[in-house]
Amino acid sequence: MEGEGGAHNENQNRRRSIGDAFTYTSSREFSSIVRPTMNDRLAEMKPALLQLISSNQLSSLDHEDPHTHLYTFYELCGSVGVSGADKEALLMRLFPFSLNGKAKAWLHSQPNQSLTTWRDVETKFLARFFPLSKNTEARTAIATFAQGADEPLREAWERYKSLLRRCPNHGFEVELQVQTFCNGLQPQTKMILDVSFGESVMFRTAEEAITIIESMASTDFRSQHGRSSSHKRGVLELSTQDAVLAQNKILSQ
């Protein structure tokens, strides 16, 4: 009898009413990303990394760029110095902490345990936050690049490179990238660069052209900081003498 009573009590403990079925859920084990096992060394580093990653979260706001977010995330995780399976485990374990707001809600909307590799996570993430429509917009921004009327060469070059980074699969060959940039420059800037190129960018390889642009942009930066704040800022902010000196330096290399 005692045994039967114990079994009866156990059945009562297990009893779940229809109402319970609709009100009781446990999300404790829910995770759209499969959590790989981390070795002891990575587990010890995790708290410090979490703080860094949590300070660089993506919330899916209009001004946020998913590729830049991934670059930053890779950079932070790369500081640990692991590879192979350990790197995969680190990325998959920490990525959820790099998201916030709508981006975090998207991750939670994925089926439980559906993302089994880092490639799955990255592919799904970019498909959601960098769809074909955004890819098209980014490619158009590259193709129609134009230097601002008062934009120094240095800032124009940095902005153009930023456009390229935000769309890694833009499909523009390096030669077309250089030509597009040069075609979008203001006439005064383009004239100075053409002299440095040797009449035209078409006479240079892409690598040579980029080296010259980088050098001119650096000269432009130094020129800006060498002038007083009261001096009116020009398109390239190089005097004729500055331009000639920069040209001679480049051509003598």
**Residue 24: how many other CB atoms lie within 10 Å:** 9
Burial zone of 176 (CB within 10 Å; 0-12 exposed, 13-18 middle, 19+ buried): middle
More confident residue, 13 or 88: 88
Rg value, the chain, Cα: 28
- Give the pair of three-digit tokens for residue 132: 């074909």
Closest CA to 189 of 228, 219, 225, 165: 219
Taking the alpha carbons of 64, 65, 68, 69 in that order, is the dihedral positive or negative?
positive
pLDDT of residue 80: 82
pLDDT of residue 171: 95
Measured distance CA(54)–CA(94) in Å, rounded: 9
DSSP state at residue 32: S
Enumerate helices (H) and strands (E) in the chain, giving the number of each.
13, 0
pLDDT in tens, 180-209: 999 999 999 999 999 988 878 888 999 999
Measured distance CA(75)–CA(77) in Å, rounded: 6
**Would the pLDDT of 21 be above 90?**
no
For the segment 77-82, the average pLDDT, to the nearest whole number, is 84
User: pTM for this one?
Assistant: 0.71
Q: Where are the domains of the chain?
A: 2-130, 135-251
DSSP state at residue 98: G
